[in-house]
A = this chain, B = another copy of it.
Amino acid sequence: MTVTAASTPAEPSEAELRALDAHWRAANYLAAGQIYLMANPLLREPLRPEHIKPRLLGHWGTSPGLNLVYTHLNRVISGRDLDTVCVWGPGHGGPAVLAGSWLDGSYTDTYPSVTRDAEGMAKLFRQFSFPGGVPSHVAPETPGSIHEGGELGYALSHAYGAAFDNPALLVACVIGDGEAETGPLAASWHSDKFLDPVHDGAVLPVLHLNGYKIANPTVLSRLPEAELDALLRGYGHDPLYVTGADPMAVHRAMAAAMDTALDKIATIQYEARTDGSTRRPHWPMIVLRTPKGWTGPHEVDGVPVEGTWRAHQVPLDQVRTNPAHLAQLEAWLRSYRPEELFDEHGQPTAPVLACVPDGQRRLGANPHANGGLVLRELPLPALERYAVPVDKPGATLHEPTRVLGDLLEQVMADTAQRRDFRIVGPDETASNRLQAVYAATGKAWQADTLPVDEHLARDGRVLEILSEHTCQGWLEGYLLTGRHGLFSCYEAFVHIVDSMVNQHIKWLRTTRQIPWRAPIASLNYLLTSHVWRQDHNGFSHQDPGFVDHVLSKSPEAVRVYFPPDANTLLATADHVLRSRDYVNVVVAGKQPCFDWLSLEEARAHCARGAGVWEWAGTDDASGEPDVVLACAGDVPTQEVIAAAQLLRHHLPDLRVRVVNVVDLARLMPAEEHPHGMPDAEFDALFTRDKPVVFAYHGYPWLIHRLAYRRTVHPHLHVRGYKESGTTTTPFDMVVRNDLDRYRLVMDVIDRVPGLAVRAAAVRQQMADQRSRHHDWIREHGTDLPEIADWKPGN
């Protein structure tokens, strides 16, 4: 990790600048060519309508700016032998990044049929945004990318995620001025307070002010210079400005800015790593102000295009039918002087390739951008050391997430040198009772500390910021570059990242089908402080719907677990931390919870994903039960156990089967989800025609959605959260939502044929208990002693 202090390379010569310009012109030519051409790629003949794609789809506006960054990153990578990845925030500028990759040869390395010659260029052009071809965006298919950029907002947090624990890596990050208006991007500027100059790499943000979005000027581009400068300094940066529309002047300024920035980064790292400076660095960044659609058509049909929002997508859109447009396109393409850039074989000429680095230094070939290549197995300790002893179900209580915290402490300790495991969370790691990890590592913090602070450390690997977006972006960037992690979050507020997890699932779904993309560690959520125990906060903090959201996405990439106690949480965590290419959602409680299963039982139960808990029911294994009481989630499990106990007491001859579900996807048909249970297994577990009363942690309709094809479905009755909440007692929460033990007993009585009459008195007793509860809590403010002190088996 020791670096030498910066040795500033000489200013680029005029010849070098001309070569950089050649690379940039070549990239611009290739970007425009991808949008327009399906033949005649090198303009060896006059352009005719049939050379033009019938549907013109893509984004020109951002491409010249991205190309400029690609060119100048090539220069400094080559000149300084840098290990560099780039996050392209304006990911809709796919033509640019594809052009850069084709020029540096990584595209042909990845897709051998797209050769770096005329034939390959023709393929490169034709395939772009064409049926059966490649997406218009920087996508998983794009070599060197860890970032789609279609939704916008996550570039900078992805870049920091890539830089954490990669001390030798430079992560360049282009931020569009449109993207800069988004909340997630705005929040992520403060990531610099969490980047350790000793153990982490560097992030070089390039804020690209091209002035316009789809239809409007951008906010940042219209700030007075001094105000923009104040803002960026307020974010903790030391900005460098590159402004212009004259290519050679911009090349000169960009080269100088890159050199200055990289010298500063080297100095910061040297001071921290060698001199031991603990000052929070003010990292450099570049503000690049160039016209939108730069070098494209200046005016089209009498209105300005270059430098305006009209350059956003396709500046000339009638090329096939309007001869003037066709002529203008040809003039535009020829303005790059392709004959200077590509030889008779269509191969890039020497000046074009002068700046291009070699091998894995190429932006399109850096292994960090194909993180599975550098991923190592996470060292996970034997669970036996952390398991709670369970001789008898429900005899003891533990806080499951606290038990998990002990395991995670060991993982943190065992990765202290490797530094490839992080926990992220929005200020909730301790609230979620994982604070044991602080014995092994601290919370990353580069700003000032006070004597009263606890667990803050420059090199800490717990990342806490009150921004779920930033947490998610950091972790995604960390995983995509081949490391491991866990996001612990309040259940309700993980909805904040709904759209981010959508994009990550899309990424995983796509990469699973791309042979050259090596599998990466799964994105693991621990959702706790859940809907049933929001004692301090109430209704605003109650939302179990993230599971519904995730389960509506690509089944091959999503898994959902509801471990009902401490040992099942351990077994689940062990499984998800070893898995690859999934989004795993684990919902678990932090409040004291009865221990139901020994570690051995927990492992077996989690392996099955769902199973009968014989000890809890009165089911005769030899025959069918009268009713199935099913449960998923810690609180529903407790209520089901209590309901089964009440039934055993009041209706001892009723055969009650208790089924617990840990892996929710097991309820789905086998043909719809890899974990889906075959019908025969489902029927054996839940019966084909007996009443099933299912107590579920979240929205009841999800269970119906998953199980509607099952034979027993007409007999399935689901209880769950139905948006009835406030600050009240824990038991009142389940009563309000009809998930309580008394209600479940009543449900059984109402649904088992013939029981309504025979058990009318029991039913009345249950109803009376609920009334008593209502009166009691309003008087005392606490749950009835028989509830608060309840223990299984009593």
Which A residues fall within an 8 A CB radius of B? 38, 53-55, 57-59, 91-92, 129-133, 135-137, 139, 148-153, 178-179, 181-190, 193, 213-219, 222-223, 227-236, 304, 307-308, 313, 427-431, 443, 445, 447-450, 452-453, 456, 464-470, 492-493, 495-496, 498-499, 502-503, 506, 509-510, 535-541, 543, 545, 548-549, 552-554, 699, 701-702, 704-705, 708, 713, 723, 726-729, 732, 777-778, 780-782
Contacts and interface: CB of A to CB of B under 8 A. Distances in A.
Contact of A781 (B54, B543, B704): B54
B464 A215 contact: yes
Given A57-B535, A495-B499, A726-B135, A214 B427 contact: yes
Contact of A230 (B91, B234, B470, B780): B234
B234 A227 contact: yes
A503 B542 CA distance: 10
A728 B133 CA distance: 9
B502 A495 contact: yes
Contacts of A307: 452
Main SS at interface, chain A: loop
B214 A190 contact: no
B499 A219 contact: no
Nearest to A232: B234
Given A427-B216, A549-B498, A54 B227 contact: no
Contact of A723 (B219, B233, B553): B553
A486 B729 CA distance: 39
B130 A781 contact: yes
A705 B447 CA distance: 50
A682 B502 CA distance: 34
B537 A136 contact: yes
A595 B432 CA distance: 55
A517 to B, nearest CB: 15
Interface centre among A216, A229, A467, A538 (most CB of B within 10 A): A216
Contacts of A193: 219, 222
Q: How many copies does the complex hold?
A: 2
Contacts of A233: 227, 230-231, 234
Given A217-B453, A452-B308, A727-B57, A495 B498 contact: yes
Contacts of A431: 214-215
Nearest to A469: B183
B467 A181 contact: yes
B539 A448 contact: no
Interface centre among A233, A427, A431, A470 (most CB of B within 10 A): A427
Contact of A777 (B132, B188, B304, B464): B132
Contact of A187 (B148, B182, B464): B182
A215 B488 CA distance: 14
A187 B186 contact: yes
A452 B217 CA distance: 10
A184 B184 CA distance: 7
A536 to B, nearest CB: 5
Nearest to A303: B452
A54 B783 CA distance: 10
A669 to B, nearest CB: 11
A539 B727 CA distance: 41
Contacts of A469: 182-183
Nearest to A447: B222
A514 to B, nearest CB: 13
A506 B539 contact: yes
Contacts of A449: 217
A694 B53 CA distance: 35
B150 A781 contact: no
A704 B699 contact: no
B54 A780 contact: yes
Nearest to A181: B466
Contacts of A495: 498-499, 502
Given A58-B536, A182-B183, A702-B705, 15 more contacts: A53-B781, A55-B782, A135-B727, A137-B537, A182-B469, A187-B187, A193-B219, A214-B430, A215-B430, A216-B464, A231-B233, A495-B502, A510-B539, A545-B552, A552-B699
Contact of A152 (B223, B466, B727, B728): B466
